[in-house]
Amino acid sequence: MPPNGRSNPTRSGPLQRRTLLAAVAIVAVAATGLGWESAHAAKVVKRQGDAQTGQAAAEDNAFYRCLAVQAHSLVAPGEPVLDASLAGAPLNLAEYIALFKATGGWVTVASSRADAVGLLDVKQVAPGPGTCRGFVVILETRDHDGHAVIRRGRGASVGGTGFPPPTPL
């Protein structure tokens, strides 16, 4: 009991100092982390506004818009199609993703080849007029005799070769 006869609810000594030091360390680490993230976020915002990023985004948009226009020239919204890679064709992951990015918002995917109007695919060809940086959308259907009929998308073209450059982050 303290000399004044009253009990003292606060404790002083080494335990209280360690608790205080731990709290100060936690606050210092948190403030440093917030400052670091704030500086990083400012760099990201600045980079997203620069000309190089704007150009890369414009090329990306033009490429996928070109593929979408070509796909629309082959398939009407609501017509079920099957992606060629889902029907057993060799999977080219980059082409599959490109097709999905261009048509994923509007294409209807059939559950089987029998339910589909055809197989939709992206193929790399020689770059030039009528291609999207050297890619075209194709639709493979069957004629009355069961022979493959391949139609090539039309209506859009984007110059260049290969996939557009990635947009910097």
* Residue 157: inside a domain: no
* Ramachandran category for residue 130: left, alpha or beta (phi over 0 → left; psi -120 to 50 → alpha): left
Nearest CA-CA partner of 108 in 131, 78, 76, 129: 78
Q: Is residue 106 part of a domain?
A: yes
Q: What pairs with residue 136 in β-bridges?
A: 123
Name the H helices within 9-165.
Answer: 14-48, 51-74, 93-103
Q: Which domain holds residue 57?
A: 51-152
Q: How many domains does the chain have?
A: 1
In a domain? residue 38: no
Who's near 78: CB < 8 A, 6+ residues apart?
108
By percentage, how much of the chain surpasses pLDDT 90? 37
Q: How far is 156 from 151, CA to CA, in rounded Å?
A: 15
Q: What would the two tokens of residue 77 be?
A: 């919204």
Task: For residue 11, tell me if it sits in a domain.
Answer: no
pLDDT at 143 over 80: yes
Task: Judge whether 121 lies within some domain.
Answer: yes
| Residue 163 covered by a domain | no
Identify the helix (H) or strand (E) that includes residue 149: strand 148-152
Q: Tell me the per-residue pLDDT of 64-109, one tens digit each, with 9 for 90 and over.
A: 999 999 999 999 989 999 887 777 777 788 888 899 999 988 999 8
The reported pLDDT for the residue numbered 1 is 53
